[in-house]
Amino acid sequence: MLIRDAVGMALNTIRVQKLKSFFSLLGVLIGVTFLIAVVSIVQGMNVYMEDQFANKLIGLNTFQLRRMSNFNSGNVTEDMWREWQRRPRINYQEAAYLEDNVQTPVLYSRYCSENLDMLWDGKTAKQIDIQTADAPYFQIKNYEIASGRTFTPQEAKVGAAVIVVGWEITDKLFKGADPIGKSVMIAGIPYRVVGQIAKQGTLFGISLDKFAVVPFDAPIHRAVCRLGFMDELHVRADNPAAMKLAVNEVEGLMRIQRRLKPAQENNFALQTAEGALEGWNKISAILMTALPALVAISLVVGGIVIMNIMLMAVAERTREIGIRKALGAKRADILAQFVVESATLSTVGALIGIGAGIGLAFLVRGVTPLPAAVAPWSVGLGVFLGVAVGMTAGIYPASRASRLDPIEALRQE
Amino acid sequence: MSDLVIQIRDMTRTYVMGAEEVHALRGVSLEIRRNEYVAIMGPSGSGKSTLMNMIGCLDTPSSGEYWLNGQEVSRMGDDALARVRNKEIGFVFQTFNLLPRASALQNVELPLVYGGVGAKDRRERSKAALTRVGLGDRMEHRPNELSGGQRQRVAIARALVNEPAILLADEPTGNLDSTTSEEIMRVFESLHAQGQTIIMVTHEPDIAAHAERTVVLKDGKVSSDTTNRRGAAA
Ligand SMILES: Nc1ncnc2c1ncn2[C@@H]1O[C@H](COP(=O)(O)OP(=O)(O)OP(=O)(O)O)[C@@H](O)[C@H]1O
Ligand SMILES: [Mg+2]
């Protein structure tokens, strides 16, 4: 009952002096806002990076053998870049050797890509990502076929002029009409559309549907790939453990083929989802390390401000304390009253901070392609920190209040 | 013996201010019976308020003994004193000393809050106390929405709500005009008639005349102790 009175009194103080209270709670408010917003964005990014980025861009249990990595974290020096440029491309013999010698059961697909214009019925879809790949590619990428079919091993083998299109082609070029059976022109050669891949959505606001796949040896090959070479060899295993094995095997076999001495570094790259996430993991690790320090600083400042507010409250309400003591309040009663009042103040700051943090996270989600997901534990932690900071900050002023001499206190104007 | 509510023997209170010592009380002895109505008078600085603070357990004597209702208060610690103030003492101050942000009812409830009385019981007893002083229709008003006399009646209700052994009033009419003072005196008289023990400090002889006994302090000592009317047998 006393607690309720103290809470009520704190809320009343805030209500009466809105602006002053707002500024005095700013420290706690900012600290908790940071906490909620940063954790929300980092958590949202984590989920997004794993679900969307890594799996859509690289593929589940999948890795790619390349001349050099697409995803680089940290500094790439000019020397490194030059070394990468000098590396040999992956060639057919190397790919065939891997297919023959890797023991782990995996799927393979050679892969090249180039941005080219696509024509149909006098209309042009510009800069479409034309990918040339082998038949298992669709399975490796986990592409769902919305209508029609993928190309057959037979079509792949002879390099037939067939094409499987992404959603955006259907949408933009065919205006949503059924694309199957239509004939599109790429680099002057007609391709018959045999399949339509289900919509992939966006990644950081960039469409993942602006592409089409043709057999690796289709006529367009010359415009996309250097003969005898590929941009990437895609490899998919059944599960993460098998994938790790396959990565090791491929690495070993490639080093043998390229006659690399033990001291020499790989002159090829094995690109995994994990590797692609490395950059993000570094950023999120920095954020999550800096966060506690930032939050702690705000909360310490906030706590000191609240302590001063409470010292002022004790000074202003000395007479009230005298009255309460005259009516039978014990030291512990006065102590509890001011600690609860301080905790209430601080918790109100924390609650506003939680609201602001969630708002900020959703604002970021709304205006940028960055995702945000509010972590319930961060909200719980925010409330806890609010109460804890308030109680800690309130102890000293409250103990001063509780030790006041009732007669002296009553004499105060 | 059990009829004695207050027994004070050779009570002194010395304030030390740096090198100087102020002897506010220099050996006061006083006995007060149940249902007595005592006025304490005396010149300014004679120790009246100091004595009231002692009786009200807000302060402890430098020497001497103080027994309240058979308990030796002069040897009590802080928390025990707080409990005695809560249960045995009802204070009425010259400046009312109500909490400005609380309603009349909430002010009256305060001693019950510290006495650990449950919310429902608290509410009922506080309403009854306010009704008793004629403020049944002002319970939700805040002090600044009440007249001086009404404020003092809220303070009296608050002092009475715990059914204390003694009602202590230090210049209860000091801030009131004469009409209002008379009103408050009528409240005191009716409380006295219902059995309440009252000790009141006043400067005004016509206020003191309402009591049945007058104790006069001078220089921290009792200089006279007289019965006013036929009432009390000392
Ligand atoms: N806290 C204190 N410290 C030092 N001296 C004090 C203190 N309280 C009271 N005194 C002194 O004790 C003496 C008695 O004071 P007290 O307040 O009891 O007088 P009083 O009879 O109530 O006077 P008044 O009629 O003016 O209210 C005075 O000389 C006063 O200055
Ligand atoms: Mg006085």
Tens digits of residue pLDDT in B139-162: 999 999 999 999 999 999 999 999
* A257: pLDDT strictly greater than 80: yes
Cβ–Cβ gap A328/B101 under 8 Å: no
pLDDT of A202 above 50: yes
Q: For the purposes of burial, counting CB atoms within 10 Å of the CB of A60, is it exposed (0-12), middle (13-18) or buried (19 or more)?
A: middle
Residue B22 CA to ligand 1 center (angstroms) comes to 9
Structure confidence by residue, pLDDT tens digits, A109-157: 999 999 999 998 888 888 999 999 999 999 998 899 999 999 998 998 8
How many whole angstroms separate alpha carbon A228 and alpha carbon A225? 8
Sequence-separated (6 or more) residues with CB below 8 Å from residue A180: A147, A148, A193, A194, A195, A196
| Per-position DSSP letters for B99-158, written without gaps between them | -TTS-HHHHHHHHHHHTT--HHHHHHHHHHHHHHTT-TT-TT--GGGS-HHHHHHHHHHH
Q: In percent, how much of chain A has pLDDT > 90?
A: 53
Question: What count of other Cβ atoms lies within 10 Å of the Cβ of residue A19?
Answer: 7
Pull the structure tokens for residue A11.
């809320």
Q: Which of B13, B86, B156 is most worth mutating to test chain A (most A CB atoms within 10 A of its CB)?
A: B86
Domain contains B119:
yes
- Candidate from A20-24, A216-220, A334-338, A385-389 with smallest mean pLDDT: A20-24
Atom of ligand 1 nearest to the CA of B47: 18
Instruction: Name the closest-CA residue to atom 22, ligand 1.
Output: B49
Task: List CB contacts (< 8 A) between A406 and chain B.
Answer: 58
**Model confidence at B175: pLDDT above 80:** yes
pLDDT at A74: 63
pLDDT for the residue B145: 96
Between the CA of B55 and the centroid of ligand 2 the distance, in Å, is 14
Total count of domains within chain B: 1
Q: Give the separation between CA A285 and CA A49, rounded to whole angstroms.
A: 14
Q: What is the pLDDT of residue A72?
A: 66
* Residue B188, in any domain of the structure: yes
CA quadruple A337, A339, A341, A347: dihedral sign: negative
> Two tokens at A80?
């490194």
Average pLDDT, chain A: 88
| Chain A interface residues (partner B, CB cutoff 8 A) | 1-2, 5, 9, 12, 319-320, 322-333, 406-407, 410
Q: What is the mean pLDDT of residues A306-314?
A: 92
A407: nearest CA partner in chain B? B58
Judged by DSSP in three states, B52 sits in helix
Whole-prediction pTM value? 0.74
Between A99 and A70, the higher pLDDT residue = A99
What is the rounded CA–CA span in Å between residue B111 and residue B121? 13
Residue A319: its chain B contacts at CB < 8 A? 97
B48 lines ligand 1 (CB under 6 A): yes
Band (pLDDT 50/70/90 cuts) for residue B230 is: very low
Q: Quote the pLDDT of residue B232.
A: 41
The answer as to whether B222 is a domain residue is yes
The number of the ligand 1 atom at minimal distance from the alpha carbon of B203 is 25
The band of B229, judged by pLDDT with boundaries at 50, 70 and 90, is: low
> Domain residues for B153?
34-61+77-233
| Residue B187, pLDDT above cutoff 50 | yes
Task: Tell whether B209 is covered by a domain.
Answer: yes
* Interface predicted TM-score of the whole assembly (ipTM), two decimals: 0.94
Instruction: Please report whether residue B72 resides in a domain.
Output: no
In a domain, B10, yes or no: no
Q: How far is A2 from chain B (nearest CA, A)?
A: 7
Q: How confident is the model over B118-129, as pLDDT tens digits?
A: 889 999 999 999
pLDDT(A336) > 60: yes
Question: Does residue B11 belong to any structural domain of this protein?
Answer: no
What value does the mean pLDDT take over residues B219-230?
88
Domain of residue B124, CATH code: 3.40.50.300
User: Does residue B23 fall inside a structural domain?
Assistant: no
DSSP-assigned letters across all residues of A285-305: HHHHHHHHHHHHHHHHHHHHH
Chain B residues in contact with A333 (beta carbon < 8 A): 114
Nearest by CB: B58 against A1, A332, A406: A406
pLDDT in the model for residue A373: 82
User: What are the CA-CA distances from residue A2 to residues A306, A321, A325, B160 (Å)?
Assistant: 21, 14, 14, 21
What mean pLDDT do residues A85-106 have?
92
